[in-house]
Chains A and B, each alone.
Chain A
């Protein structure tokens, strides 16, 4: 009997748990990505669009008033919120759209939670004249109405998913079903560092620009590496892109911040590392929120972008080996972080990023003034104004 190589493993996590119909597409994608990586013209083309279209590199900003208010370590913000389309998602969507075209595929399918990945993918498709279908949970469509309109303005077709809980997990299921049926001419632009190999690697590599720039920028500003790096985790794409260039630097503490929703003890949260069990979802072996029968459970978070019941395989491995510490911040904590940053710095962060801001503010208190923390400000808060206004009862204190 032939012994098959298991691919795309991060320790015991990752893999390729998909229907056979998708296997040749994954093998083709792996090959195409390998060739693209080895081709300097590909990197050059992506760099061009990242600079002239997205507006990279974006600043690493010293949050001076926030630092003063907290009275601990210096806090720096990596301004992914300043990217075209308002979040880090565009880094990956552009890279994968270019990759799809290299494979001769001009039809794109994507899933979206908060709508940021959907908007980024619709944007990349408009830029290159590609057909775009985005699956989005019914509940998320309600929460992020304006992002649906943005995607449609950009020429994408948005399909509402009312199955299951009507959130990101169900949108991924539908996107996978659509891909199985249209695999021969369609590329699936997966939005987070999740899914079957080679997606976690591809998404990480396209998001790695966040950490690469940050590393250079902090050395320019502080003359040394930061003491801590903080990023929020849903599936984990902004975090893995930020962390990856620092993983070998033992002196840099890395913190991933999951969504604790109403609190871990309530069971209403999205913290798969804090409270999940090992299992398979959407093609990869990961920590997954599930019951004793292996049925996947609903995730809960005020931020649609963190509302996913698992965490990408590389994060699971970084947790297992203890390289990254995974913490969790509640909905209430995120709202506090969002208001704090708005008031002290004039920056309204996305609810997702607000989880990281809140944790970093607590962390800074416990550190020395000479120390430095970098927070990945993965997106801006415009899309969340309705949610935040509702949560604060229509009034800011």
Chain B
């Protein structure tokens, strides 16, 4: 079992749900990356998903697109983010996951990317435009490393496909909660809860829900049906507005010990 899954299972064993915080690397300048990582670690997140800005982020909504544009304007790239992460390695103990679109990885070179990720202590990679069918070359390169390739399943994935995705899943399964892009939502579709429970039954790795989760209530609600949540746009916005207390409260809502209720 790779480190990422182990760490999530450790927190589950303590009776906590996992809370993975997304952040856009270099929004506010690359120099602020370390202090944000340390802040999130201090706030108690289970893991941090570090977004790499891209010129054409098709899976992202307004908040993350804008954060990405600000980071690009600061000259942030996959290469310099990984370099910075390598420099803060000793001080950040929380597991780090890199989220990047595929083209910057191809431009970097897949073997080089994996090597530098290892040096920086990265334990997971999420690539939203790399579905199962195309994941072979990166998977081969990650084989034998401690880096998990975290797959996404969506509301539109049929059960048979979800099963195949879970078979090769590592770290955790990223269950997308909406048909759409990232960004805050007022409400979720009714079928979502049963979908998440079905995904959870099919998966051997922990299942975390993400996309559009922005309030403490939603964090709790999703946590009831999964092993935890990934929160992105809201945290990106809160960092941008310097509303750090909002982030602390969201994280607390996510990792609070839950009562095990006997349903029988």
Contact = CB atoms under 8 A, between A and B. Distances in A.
Interface residues of A, number: 44
Contacts of B136: 3-4, 6
A22 B180 CA distance: 10
B201 interface: no
A15 B132 CA distance: 12
B55 A19 contact: no
Interface residues of B, number: 46
A11 interface: no
Contacts of B107: 277, 279, 290, 292-294
Interface stretch (B18-26, B147-155, B227-235, B236-244): B147-155
B170 to A, nearest CB: 11
B209 to A, nearest CB: 14
A22 B181 CA distance: 12
Interface string A13-30: 001111111111100000
Given A4-B132, A17-B130, A164-B56, A296 B103 contact: yes
Nearest to B164: A2
B168 A164 contact: no
A216 interface: no
Nearest to B102: A280
Interface in A259-278: 277-278
Interface in B109-151: 128-136, 151
A21 B174 CA distance: 12
Contact of A295 (B54, B157, B180): B54
A21 B156 contact: yes
A116 B134 CA distance: 33
Contact of A281 (B103, B105, B153): B103
A296 B106 CA distance: 12
Interface string B90-110: 000000000000111111100
A24 B157 contact: yes
A38 interface: no
Contacts of A1: 167-168
B186 interface: no
A278 B129 CA distance: 16
A391 interface: no
Contacts of A367: none
Contacts of A177: 58-59, 61, 180-181
Contacts of B58: 19, 173, 176-177, 180, 282
Contact of B128 (A4, A19, A181): A19
Interface of B: 54-59, 61, 65, 72, 77-79, 102-108, 128-136, 151-158, 161, 164-165, 167-168, 176, 178-181
